[in-house]
Amino acid sequence: MRMVFWLIVLVVIGGLAWIRLGPSDPDVWHVDPKVTADQDLAGGVRRRVAGGAPLMQALHRIILETPRTEVLAGSPDEGRVTYVTRSLWMGFPDYTTVQLEGDSVEIYARLRFGQSDQGVNRARVSGWLERLGPTD
């Protein structure tokens, strides 16, 4: 019985380590957001915002000010950037891809683990867009 307990503890610790330390493959996450319309999804959000390269640069600066957020791949100069934002306690990664598409900026934020992000990505993206101010 004692061995089963320690086996469970080891599995839990291994799972937590994988969540926090598992690699993020740019080939999987740094992809076209394919935003056809604003969408609230169970595991994320898609948004299209009017504005070109200056808006993308401003959004890039705002995103990098977000705690526990870093660039996974790309740059505003390339026209596509994917960011990883990790939750405070467990380190769950959320991925946000921002892409310049003509005179619009497309945003696709999504979770990696689980089925629902409980609105976390929607709130984060909404906060970024509020900080941008009016874009029309």
Average pLDDT across the chain, whole number = 91
* Whole-model pTM over 0.85: yes
Residue holding tokens 């892409």? 99
Task: Determine the average pLDDT of the residues in 5-23.
Answer: 80
Query: What is the spatial distance between Cα 2 and Cα 7, in angstroms, rounded to a whole number?
Result: 9
- Per-residue pLDDT band at 135 (split at 50, 70, 90): low
Q: Is the pLDDT of residue 136 over 70?
A: no
More confident residue, 75 or 117: 75
What domains appear along the chain, each with residue ranges and CATH number?
A: 26-132 (3.30.310.80)
What is the DSSP secondary-structure string of 51-107? --HHHHHHHHHHHHTSTTEEEEEEEGGGTEEEEEEE-TTT--EEEEEEEEETTEEEE
More confident residue, 46 or 115: 46
- Per-residue pLDDT band at 106 (split at 50, 70, 90): very high
Q: Percentage of residues in the chain with pLDDT exceeding 70?
A: 97
Listed residue (124, 133, 42, 51) closest to 83, CA to CA: 124
